[in-house]
Amino acid sequence: MNTTPDLASNAPEIDPQLKLRLRKAERFLKVRALLLVVPLVVFVLFTFVLPLTEMLYRSIHNPILVDNLPEVAALMRDWDQQQLPGDDIFTAVGKGLVVAREQKTIGRIANRLNSEHAGMRSLLTKSARKLRKYKGDDYKDYMLSLDKRWGEAETWGAFKVLSSEYTLTHYLAAFDMQYNAQGEIVSQPEERQIYVDMLLKTLKLSLLVTLFCVLLGYPLAYYLSILPPGKSNLLMILVLLPFWTSLLVRTSSWIVMLQGQGVVNSTLISLGILSEPLDMMYNQIGTVVAMTHILLPFMILPTYSVMKSISPVYMRAARSLGATPANAFFKVYFPQTIPGLSAGAILVFILSIGYYITPALVGGRTGQMISNLIAYHMQTSLNWGLGAALAGSLLAVVLVLYWIYNRLVGSSQMKLG
Amino acid sequence: MSLPVHATLLERFSYYGLRCFAALVLFFLIIPILIIIPLSFNAEPFFTFTEGMLKLDPDAYSLRWYRNIWESQEWMLSIKNSMIVGVCATLLAMTLGTLAALGLSQRHMPFKGAIMGLLISPMIVPLIISAASMYFFFTKVNLAQTYLGVIMAHAVLGIPFVIITVTATLVGFDENLTKASASLGANPRTTFFKVTFPLIRPGVISGALFAFATSFDEVVVVLFIAGTDQRTIPREMWAGMREQLSPTILAVATLLILLSVMLLLTVELLRRRSDRIRGISE
């Protein structure tokens, strides 16, 4: 193949194919490494990523009109929202409702429309009942005489929103917004604005939990890190045991401790500190206390492992150079602990923002968080689109935080215990 | 660290202040776990210490709540289910996770960061989101309300723990050992079982224990995808706490605490052993 140049003739003979063979060998190793990972990646894609993607799809997929009243959907897409729809649309809706009533799909259509504009459910079911007996062909006049709401822009606005197969309406609803009759984005009526408040409350409670974890965890991690190894290992068990104990055990324990006739109240009363029991359970206090307890080890462990690696020499040097203890601590020691501190704090925040079990059990009515609302829409109200949109928004927040965490710590540096 | 004799008043104050504060935080961490144990022996159906209990009157204590577990069909079924699901999910997560960790810790692994991020994500995504999406998907592929469905879901949740612990054990793994084994004529299979695996075994086992604990404690996914036949211990506890709080729950909780003590001790022993094998001493 290649002729070796004269210059190199004195140098040891290099096989021209060596490079090729090396590349081949490396490719082989690469493929072998990949093959080891493939089974797990396929498994995770199937049981985790695919379901997640499908749910996110559900949050923008909006097939109810397109599937059940295709003619109406097609006509509505061309309607310009400037004036009342023409005869053709009224006729299509009128006939469609009768068919939907026979096929028993009217309930679902009415529910979905009702979530866009209140009152649509009664309008649809009532009209469908009457339309069944209508034999004429001037649907527009007849429907307007049945109910004046057929002449309102909001009614047709709701149809318009649902006419396309993909929509952002669930995401708008998740942030207390909606399309108005003219197709503009406006905020929901006052009494329906609950989601932004819930999101803010979730952020507030998560921040509180994170703050308490920092305040309680940092000094304890510091104390454990300056103890001799034997003693600190022993005390570390007190941190690790809660970490290993079932979440439900710890939550039930807090119910036992904090409820009206619970351990804390009865102790305080028998000591004469309280005259009547405090309300500490089934409200925000219960949620915050129990969650702080559950997440505290996630704060302590990374902080401790960073503190352990800081040599005491720096502090001594700072002191010997004349720094006051406080100065030495804040200027020399504290900055070195920030990686562990921020890793722990972000982890606690990520975990608490998506918490479900503890708020559901100890939060009562006021201590609920966004996850509980998602569960409500998924299991009780069956408004899956809205539930999926709330889940999608929460997922976005968590993934951004995870990305920051990864930049700061690196997921390969994550340690357990 | 003891206090030097020349310490100023402020130093003394902060030294003892720190000790007191640390003691209080440790107390806060451990008290909810300790308090459950004596209460589970309460003879009365109360959740607080009765007069008799405080006076250490033997009549105030009983094993009736433990007997309740034994006699209740639901609890026994849930214990059986938890064991089946936990063991199967752990085996699945352990096998796939160890293989993947071996691949991930190789120098030649492409897209290492992205794959690592993907495999850790089940730990980060809020459980309610995973559970709800699995519910819809598993219903479609007929995995909802089956043992296989619950096992697969729990295995996915346990995988991040296996990946993290096994890759941590593989950090600083001496590749010359496998090369030496190969040069002495061992095939890759023999090399893995005779050389690599004994070295990473502590990491694999503690990862498996984490995965088992995750499955044993998981309730959100079970709430969504399990049927009545697959109710696990946490699922029973959840039902008990939502409907009527019975002290039987405290007895179950005590047993679970016992289990977590055993898991914790095993993992700690394994960690020390692994450090010793790899020549890392504290």
pLDDT attached to residue A6? 52
Select from A39, A224, A263 the Cβ nearest to the Cβ of B48: A263
Percent of chain A with pLDDT over 90: 27
pLDDT digits (tens, 9 = 90+) for A181-230: 777 788 887 777 888 989 999 999 999 999 999 999 999 999 999 898 88
pLDDT digits (tens, 9 = 90+) for A331-380: 899 999 988 898 899 989 999 999 999 999 888 888 889 999 999 999 88
Q: SS3 for B267? A: helix
pLDDT attached to residue B130? 95
State the DSSP code for B56.
Answer: T
- Pair B86, B216: CB distance under 8 Å: yes
Selected for mutation to probe chain A from B105, B124, B171 (highest A CB count within 10 Å) is B124
Minimal Cα distance from B268: which residue of A?
A: A417
A212 to chain B, closest Cα gap in Å:
11
B71 to chain A, closest Cα gap in Å:
21
Two tokens, residue A75: 């006509």
Euclidean distance between CA atoms B165 and A30, whole angstroms: 23
> What is the rounded average pLDDT of the residues B177-191?
89
pLDDT at B127 over 60: yes
State the DSSP code for A148.
Answer: G
Select from A36, A255, A387 the Cβ nearest to the Cβ of B132: A387
CB contact under 8 Å between A217 and B25, yes or no, is: yes
Q: Which of 157-176 (A) contact B at CB < 8 A? A: none
pLDDT band at A311 (very low <50, low <70, confident <90, very high): confident
Asked whether the whole model's pTM tops 0.80, one would answer: yes
Query: Hey, what amino acid is at A118?
Result: A
Minimal Cα distance from A375: which residue of B?
A: B128
pLDDT attached to residue A280? 80
pLDDT attached to residue B98? 93
Minimal Cα distance from A31: which residue of B?
A: B109
CB contact under 8 Å between A248 and B129, yes or no, is: no
Q: Does A260 touch chain B (CB under 8 A)?
A: no
A50 half-sphere exposure, CB direction, 13 A CA radius: 14
pLDDT band at A392 (very low <50, low <70, confident <90, very high): very high
pLDDT at A309 over 50: yes
Euclidean distance between CA atoms A187 and B132, whole angstroms: 28
CB contact under 8 Å between B268 and A251, yes or no, is: no
- Residue A185: beta bridge partners? A179
pLDDT digits (tens, 9 = 90+) for B206-241: 899 999 999 999 999 999 999 888 899 999 999 888
pLDDT at A158 over 50: yes
For residue B220, the chain A residues in CB contact (below 8 A) are: 356-357
- Pair A225, A232: CB distance under 8 Å: yes
pLDDT attached to residue A176? 86
pLDDT digits (tens, 9 = 90+) for B151-170: 999 999 999 999 988 988 88
For residue A30, the chain B residues in CB contact (below 8 A) are: 108-110
Of A58-72, A252-266, A370-384, B90-104, highest mean pLDDT: B90-104
Average pLDDT over chain A reads 85
A165 half-sphere exposure, CB direction, 13 A CA radius: 5
pLDDT attached to residue A214? 96
Euclidean distance between CA atoms B157 and B162, whole angstroms: 10
pLDDT at A24 over 60: yes
B124 to chain A, closest Cα gap in Å:
7
pLDDT attached to residue A80? 79
**Torsion sign, CA atoms A201, A202, A207, A213:** positive
A41 to chain B, closest Cα gap in Å:
7
pLDDT attached to residue A417? 44
